[in-house]
Amino acid sequence: MSGPTRLLLDKSVVRRYFEGTGGLARGLALTDEEQQAILLVYLARGKEYRLFLSTEARNLLLAHGRQVAPTETLMFLKRVEVLYPTRYFKRWARRVRQRTFSREDAKVLALATFGTDEAGDVLGVHRVVTFDRPMARKWAREQESFARQLYEMTEQLAMPFVLARLPRVQLPEDI
């Protein structure tokens, strides 16, 4: 994976970002998580990070964000891209789910491995960014086993899928 570092923001990060920007607009004190989410989004360009969302997160923003914070929603959507599932996304999500990850977590992790941008120029992301500490710990514990399983699956696949790599799962404070 070359070029800018690609980050997939899970819904918890997006939620804290909007809670924080709403709090700023009302003059409220921000939580640490809200501050971290806002900083990550605003500093991404200077650090050469490409930020991605799932299609589900984008659709939620389009449906609800425009009602709550229309200007901030549009500004946010200009800073992020959508990561689309590719051919082997469902198969990998099933395998991740079998290891007792929730359905939603399995989809995020599979998208991070087998997702692409709108142009189809990338495969996967370098990191999943989340505030879900249990998911991050579980992924770290099981990453070696998942790496073997992914290798066994991808060694038979055609390009570009043979190049699929596991992402790191990190908290915004660790980025």
Domains of the chain: total: 1
Which residue segment(s) compose the domain that 51 sits in? 5-174
Q: Which residues pair with 9 in a beta bridge?
A: 129
For residues 134 and 151, give the distance between their C-alpha atoms in angstroms, rounded to a whole number. 25
pLDDT in tens, 61-78: 888 766 666 788 888 999
Query: Integer distance in angstroms from the first to the last C-alpha of the chain?
Result: 17
What is the distance between the alpha carbons of residues 40 and 36, in angstroms, rounded to a whole number? Answer: 6
Is pLDDT above 80 for 136? yes
E-strand stretches of 40-123: 49-54, 80-85, 115-116
pLDDT in tens, 75-120: 899 999 999 999 999 999 999 999 889 999 999 999 999 999 999 9
Can you say whether the dihedral through the CA atoms of 108, 91, 5, 142 is positive or negative? positive
* CA 49/CA 43 separation, integer angstroms: 8
Average predicted confidence (pLDDT) for the chain: 93
CATH code of residue 64: 3.40.50.1010
Q: Please state the pTM of the whole predicted model.
A: 0.92
